[in-house]
Amino acid sequence: MKKVISTTEAPSAIGPYSQAIEANGMLFISGQVPIDPATAKIVDGDITAQTEQVMKNIAAILQAAGYGFENVVKSTCLLSDMANFAAMNAVYAKYYPADPPARAAFAVKGLPLNALIEIETIAVK
């Protein structure tokens, strides 16, 4: 059975998709860009500020579904520029102090709203 997860503590979907879907004890979080849910705009700042907002958005969705970062098994990080990898990684690592999930990270030609980063996440109970 599929359950749609939605919270006002994370940005609303900006297209025909859900913030997250839970099915069979797995949570699939759509790619999160650094939109502040209070303003519905990309946060000002560099990759550090943008990664922090993305992780806050992921945290809000995890919490709304009854999961936590300890349940995350896979992340995919999309970067506008691989030169931002080290700074992104420093923020990302704070959220996974032990047993981090599997992950892929790569640069793409462009991201929605000219964001510097987008992260999609899979969690399992």
Partners of residue 105 on adjacent β-strands: 77
**What would the pLDDT profile of 76-114 be if each residue is shown by its tens digit?**
999 999 999 999 999 999 999 999 999 999 999 999 999
pLDDT category at 14 given cuts 50, 70, 90 is: confident
Q: How far apart are CA 122 and CA 109, in angstroms?
A: 23
For the stretch 107-123, pLDDT in tens is 999 999 999 999 999 99
Residue 1 has pLDDT above 90, yes or no: no
C-alpha span between 28 and 40 (Å, rounded): 22
> 26, 95, 24, 16: which is closest to 119 by C-alpha?
95
Residues near 124 by beta carbon (within 8 Å), at least 6 away in sequence: 25, 26, 27, 71, 73
**What is the architecture of the domain spanning 2-124?**
2-Layer Sandwich (3.30)
Render pLDDT for 15-67 as a digit per residue (tens, 0 to 9): 899 999 999 999 999 999 999 999 999 999 999 999 999 999 999 999 999 99
The C-alpha atoms of residue 83 and residue 118 are separated, in whole angstroms, by 15
Read off the pTM. Answer: 0.97
